[in-house]
Amino acid sequence: MHSHAIEHQTRKHVGLGRCLPAVLGTSVLPLILLAGCAAPAAEPSPRETRTVTLMTHDSFAISETALQEFEAATGAKLAVLESGDAGAALNKAILTKQAPLADVFFGVDNTFLARALEEGVFETYASPRLDSIPAEYRLDPGNRALPVDYGDVCINYDRDWFAAHSLDVPGSLEDLAEEEYRGLLVVENPFTSSPGLAFLLATVAHFGPDGFADYWGSLKSNGTVVVDGWETAYYTNFSASSGKGFQPMVVSYATSPAFEFLYADPPRDEPPTASLLGPEMCFRQIEFAGILAGTEQRDLAEKLVEFLLSRTFQEDIPLQMAMFPVNPDAVLPEAFLRFAPLPAEPAVLAPEEIAAHREEWMNVWKGVMLS
Amino acid sequence: MERRNAVVGRAALFGARRPAWFFRIVQWIPAVAFIGLFFYYPLAAVLRLGVEAVLQGEADALPLGSAFRVLGFTVFQAALSMLLTLAVGLPGAYLFARYDFPLKRFLRAFSIVPFILPTVVVAAGFESLLGPRGWINLALQQTGWIGRPIPFLHTLGAILLAHVFYNTSIVLRTVGAAWERLDPRLGDAARVLGAGRRQAFRRVTLPLLMPSILAAASLVFLFDFTSFGVILILGGPSFSTLEVEIYIQALQALNLPAAALLSILQILCSLTLIAVSGRLARRMEAASARVGIRAARKPASTAEWILAASILAALAALFLAPLASPAARSLLRMDAGLGERSGVRAEWTLEYYRELFYNRRGTAFFATPLEMAGNSLLAAAATAAFALAFGIPAAALLSRPTRIDRALEPLLLLPLGTSAVTLGLGMLIVFSRPPWNWIRSPAMIPVAHTLVAFPFVVRGLKPAFAGIPERLREAAAVLGASPWMVWRTVVFPIALRAVLSSAAFAFAVSLGEFGATSIIVRPDFPTMPVGIYRLLSQPGGLNYGQAMAMTTLLMLFCAAAVMFIEWEHQPAKPA
C-alpha cells in the first residue's frame, strides 16, 4: 500500500490506499455484520439434546409444569413455532411441505381439516390413545389428523344489559332477527376471522345452503354490525367488555364467560357474560394434530403426539387455550364446570362439505352483508 | 437570486472526478446483495408459483374485474391520505425547524410514537374519542347539537384520519431535517431584494425544500398504498385494498395465483410511483446547506407565539388524544357497571403493570415486559445498524447519480410498496430449505424489518447529501483532506440530523413490527407488539388492562429510544 505525497493531494490523484477505509466501511462491513447475525445454527452433534419442533397457531400455550414433564420423559427439548392464525399456520405448513419446518403440527380445525388431508401434509399415526377418544371427534378415518381438543363458537351476551332492559335473551337463531334485538348483535367478518367463519357455518347448518342467505339478509336489516376480527368485536363493540360498546351480544366462544370470571377486574362472584346455547346457535370446532410428512424424527414426533393426548396436556388445555380436552379422563377446572356450559345441540357440518363450499358460502355472505 | 443546480460529480463518496466506476460498484455491492437475496429472490419464488399455476390452468377464476375496482380505491385513499398528511405535517415541520419552544426535544422524539403502535390499539384510542359513546359524541349530545351519534368507525374518514395519525411523523422529520439545514440567509436575501414574505417562501424556500417534500410524500403514499390494519379495522369489511385482498387470497383462501396476480399489480403501481417521484425530485434538486447558523429561535413577537402555539395545539390534539387513551386505560380500573357508560366507576390502579410481571397461569415461554422490551430493542438496534450500513452508501451514490444509479433507485425502494404477505410467503418458501435454511433464525426478524426501514434511510439521506454544495467538498479537498476525511468532516456532520432521523425511523419500523415479520414463522422471540396482540386475543378485563399497560410501555420505550438516538446532537459548527 502506498500513499501519495502531500503536495499531490488534489482529487485527481486518489489512490486505492486512501480510499481503503471507505471501501471497507461501505461494502465489507455491512456484509460481515449480516453474516455474523444471520449465521444459521450449527447442526447438532449426536451428543447434544435433540429438539422436537411443534408448528402451531399463535393461540397455542402450554404450562411450565406440563412442558417440564414432557422434556423429562423424552429427554428432548420442545421448540414451538408460532405461525399466525389457524388458517395462516396451516397454509404455511402446506407451502413448506417439501421441506417441513417442524415435526408435528397442532391446530388444524374441522373447517380446514379436509384441505390439510387433501394436501397431504400429515403422515398416518394410529395412536393407541385414539380408542379412548369419543368417535364424534375422530373425523379422519385414516388417522393422519388426531383430535386434541374442541370448543364451541357461541354468541356471548351482556347479562347486566339484558337484566337492566328487562329483555329475555334470544332462544334461537331465528329470534336474533326479531325487532326487540335490533342493532344488538356484532359478528366478525368470516373472511378475516375464524369465529366469524364458524358462526356463518352454524347458520348454514341450521338454515341449509339455500336458506342461510335470506337469514343473513334479515340479520342485516335488523342492524347486525360486522367488524373485522374478534378483538374489535369483543373489546370495542361488546357492551360487557371495557369497550362499553353498543352491542350487548357478540360472536365469541362458549368458554369466554369462564375467562371473564377468572380474569375479572375487580374480581366478581359471577362473570358479567354468558353464552346463548339454543339449538344450533353454536358451531363446534375440533382441533387436530398430526405428524408432518417428511419429518426426520418420527420417534420424537410420535412421542409429542402421545403427549398432546395425555392427561397432563389435556388437563392443561382449558386454562391455557380455552378449549375442552377430547380425553374423557381429563378433569375440568372449576370455572369451566360453573361458567362454560356446553350447548346440547351444537351445529355440525362434515369437513368435506365445508371444504367443497367454503368459498362459495363466504361469497354469498359477502354479497348479502357488504353490498 | 441565482439558483445553481448541484454539480453532478461522478463519484459521491470519494470525490474523484475521473471515472470511478470501480468505487461505485464496490459501494453498490452491499445494498444490492442484501435486497437481492432477501427481497427479489423470495419475491420471484412466490410470483413464479402463482404464474406457473395460471399457465398450467390450475388457477381458479382470477378476479380481474374486482381487482381493478380494488386498485382504484387503493390509489384513491392513498392519494387523499398523502395530501392530508402533508397538510398536517408541513406546518409542523416549519415549527420544529424554525422555532425553539419548551419541550421541543421531547416532542420531536415523541412524534414518532404513533408510527409504531399496533392498529388494534390505535383503533381503540380513536373509538374512545370518536366512537358512538366516545367523548366527542357524548359532549355533542349533551349540548343537544346532534340527536344521534355521528358515525366514525367504518367510514372513509376513519381510514384517512388514521393514516394521517400514523404517517405525519414522516413528513415532520424528513422535511423538518431539510428545513433545518436551509440557510435562512437565502430567504432573508430575497426579502432584502424586495420579495414579500410569501414570495420569498414560494420562490426560494419551497423549491429548496421540494426534494425532501417529495421524498416524504412518496414514503407516505407507499405506506398508505400498502396499508393493512387500518383498512381492516377502522375501515371495516366494506372497504378493501390490494393488500387486504392479497392477504385474504394468500393466507385464508390459499389461492396463490390470485395473490400473485394482485401482487404484480401492486408492484407495478409502486414502481410507477417511485419512478415518478424520483424524476420530479431530480428536476428540483438544488444545493443549499447551512453553514453554522442556528436557524431555530424563540418566537419573537406575539404573532409568532400565537402561530407556534396554534400549530402545536393542533398537532397535540391529533396525536396525543388517541395515545392518551390507552395510557389512561392502563391505569384506570373500570368497574363494568350496568352496561351503560354512565354507570361506570373508575379508580386508579397499578395492578395491570404488576400483573404483566406475574405468570398467573404458569405458562411456559412466558416473557416479562422487560424480556420483550429487550428482544424488541435487540431487533430494532440490529435493524438500525443494517439499514444505515446498507443505506448510507446507497444514498451517497444516489445523491450524485449516474444513469445506472437512477435505474437502480426504484428497485431499492420497492420493498415498501410490496405486500408484506407476498414477501413473507416468498421468504417462507426460499429460506426453509438448504442452502439458506434460515427461516427459524431470530436474525430473520431484523432482516425483514430492514427491508422496510432501508427506503427511509435512502429517501431521507439523499436530499441531505445532495444539498451539500460542491464548493465545500472542493474547499476541503484543496486544503488537503482525503476523500474519506472530506466525507467524515464535511458531508457527514452536515447530514447528521438526517442520518439520526433515518436511524430513528429504522428503529421505529422495527419496534412497530412492520411488514413481513408477521408472516414468517416465529421462533421463541416475543417482542412487545406480539405481547400486546397475545393479551388482546383473550377475554377478561385483566387481560385488556394488561394489553393497554404493555402498549403504554411500548410508547414510552419508543420515545426513550428515539430520544437517546437523537439527544446528543448539536448542529455542526464549521471548523
**Measured between CB atoms, which of A101, A229, A322 is closest to B440?**
A101
Q: What percent of chain B has pLDDT over 70?
A: 89
DSSP state of B235: I
The half-sphere exposure of B237 on its side-chain side, counting CA atoms within 13 A, is 26
Residues facing residue A56 across a β-bridge: A82, A106
Per-residue pLDDT band at A26 (split at 50, 70, 90): low
Q: What is the mean pLDDT of residues A327-351?
A: 95
CA separation for the pair B278, B410 (Å, rounded) = 8
Q: What percent of chain B has pLDDT over 90?
A: 27
Q: Return residues 74-93 of A near B (CB < 8 Å).
A: 79-84, 87-88, 91-92
CB B337, CB B344: distance < 8 Å: yes
Q: A214-217 — which CB contacts under 8 Å span 24+ positions?
A: A215/A173, A215/A174, A215/A177, A216/A365, A216/A368, A216/A369, A217/A368
Residues facing residue B333 across a β-bridge: B347
**Measured between CB atoms, which of B233, B477, B483 is closest to A232?**
B233
* C-alpha distances in Å from residue A81, one per residue of A93, B113, B444, B525: 11, 30, 14, 10
CA separation for the pair B354, B470 (Å, rounded) = 57
pLDDT digits (tens, 9 = 90+) for A54-75: 999 988 999 999 999 999 999 9
Predicted pLDDT at B239: 92
pTM of the model: 0.86
Residue A291 CB coordination number (10 Å): 26
Cell 404464474 found at: B51
Q: What is the mean pLDDT of residues B229-233?
A: 89
- Verify whether the Cβ–Cβ distance B336 to A30 is below 8 Å: no
Predicted pLDDT at B243: 93
Checking if the pLDDT of A12 tops 60, the result is no
Average pLDDT, chain B: 83
The alpha-carbon gap from A282 to the nearest alpha carbon of chain B, in Å, equals: 18
Checking if the pLDDT of B4 tops 50, the result is no
* C-alpha distances in Å from residue A164, one per residue of A161, A167, B445: 5, 8, 50
Which one is predicted more confidently, B138 or B162?
A: B162
Cell 476523500 found at: B483
Picking from A111, A116, A154, the residue whose alpha carbon sits closest to that of residue A285 is A111
Reduced to 3 states (helix: H, G, I; strand: E, B; else coil), residue A152 is: strand
Per-residue pLDDT band at A78 (split at 50, 70, 90): very high
Which one is predicted more confidently, A13 or B318?
A: B318
**Span of A276-285, A309-318, B347-356, B566-575 with lowest mean pLDDT:** B566-575
Taking contacts as CB-CB distances below 8 angstroms, the residues of chain B near A243 are 124, 127
Q: What is the mean pLDDT of residues B449-466?
A: 88
CA separation for the pair A271, A274 (Å, rounded) = 7
- Verify whether the Cβ–Cβ distance B447 to A38 is below 8 Å: yes
Taking contacts as CB-CB distances below 8 angstroms, the residues of chain B near A11 are 15-17, 474, 477, 483
* C-alpha distances in Å from residue B181, one per residue of B54, B172, B195: 52, 14, 22
* C-alpha distances in Å from residue A216, one per residue of A225, A276, A279, A284, A370: 11, 18, 18, 20, 11
- Verify whether the Cβ–Cβ distance B523 to A79 is below 8 Å: yes
Q: What is the mean pLDDT of residues B500-523?
A: 80
* C-alpha distances in Å from residue A154, one per residue of A203, A356, B244: 12, 24, 27
The alpha-carbon gap from B168 to the nearest alpha carbon of chain A, in Å, equals: 25
Per-residue pLDDT band at B18 (split at 50, 70, 90): very low
Q: What is the mean pLDDT of residues B218-235?
A: 91
CB A12, CB B18: distance < 8 Å: yes
Q: What is the mean pLDDT of residues B498-520?
A: 82
CB A154, CB A134: distance < 8 Å: no
C-alpha A344, offset from chain centre? 24
Checking if the pLDDT of B115 tops 90, the result is no
Predicted pLDDT at A43: 47
CA separation for the pair B308, B300 (Å, rounded) = 11
In a mutagenesis test of the B interface, which of A14, A65, A115, A363 is the best target, namely the one with the most B β-carbons within 10 Å? Answer: A14
Taking contacts as CB-CB distances below 8 angstroms, the residues of chain A near B250 are 91
Predicted pLDDT at B117: 86
Predicted pLDDT at B343: 47
Taking contacts as CB-CB distances below 8 angstroms, the residues of chain B near A66 are 364
**Span of A195-199, B226-230, B248-252 with lowest mean pLDDT:** B248-252
**Span of A19-28, A302-311, A312-321 with lowest mean pLDDT:** A19-28
Q: What is the mean pLDDT of residues A26-50?
A: 55
Q: What are phi and psi of A333, to 5 degrees?
A: -65, 155
Residue B58 CB coordination number (10 Å): 10
Predicted pLDDT at A42: 45
Per-residue pLDDT band at B344 (split at 50, 70, 90): low
Checking if the pLDDT of A212 tops 90, the result is yes
Per-residue pLDDT band at B387 (split at 50, 70, 90): very high
- Verify whether the Cβ–Cβ distance A259 to B389 is below 8 Å: no
- Verify whether the Cβ–Cβ distance B120 to A319 is below 8 Å: no
**Span of A166-175, B12-21, B157-166, B392-401 with lowest mean pLDDT:** B12-21
Picking from B86, B267, B291, the residue whose alpha carbon sits closest to that of residue B169 is B86
CB B410, CB B27: distance < 8 Å: no
Taking contacts as CB-CB distances below 8 angstroms, the residues of chain B near A236 are 123-124, 127, 131, 153
Residue B410 CB coordination number (10 Å): 18
Predicted pLDDT at B295: 67
- Verify whether the Cβ–Cβ distance B339 to A19 is below 8 Å: no
CA separation for the pair B114, B162 (Å, rounded) = 10
Q: Which range is most confident: A14-18, A159-163, B195-199?
A: A159-163
- Verify whether the Cβ–Cβ distance B542 to A240 is below 8 Å: no
Q: What is the mean pLDDT of residues B486-510?
A: 87
Which one is predicted more confidently, A284 or B441?
A: A284
Q: What is the mean pLDDT of residues B278-307?
A: 75
pLDDT digits (tens, 9 = 90+) for B301-342: 888 899 889 988 888 888 888 888 888 889 988 754 434 444
CA separation for the pair B487, B476 (Å, rounded) = 10
Average pLDDT, chain A: 88
Residues facing residue A186 across a β-bridge: A225, A250
Peptide bond into A351 cis (omega under 30): no
- What cell was used for A319? 386454562
Checking if the pLDDT of A11 tops 70, the result is no
Which residues, including other chains, have CB under 8 Å from residue A175's CB and lie 6 or more apart? A181, A278
Predicted pLDDT at A350: 94
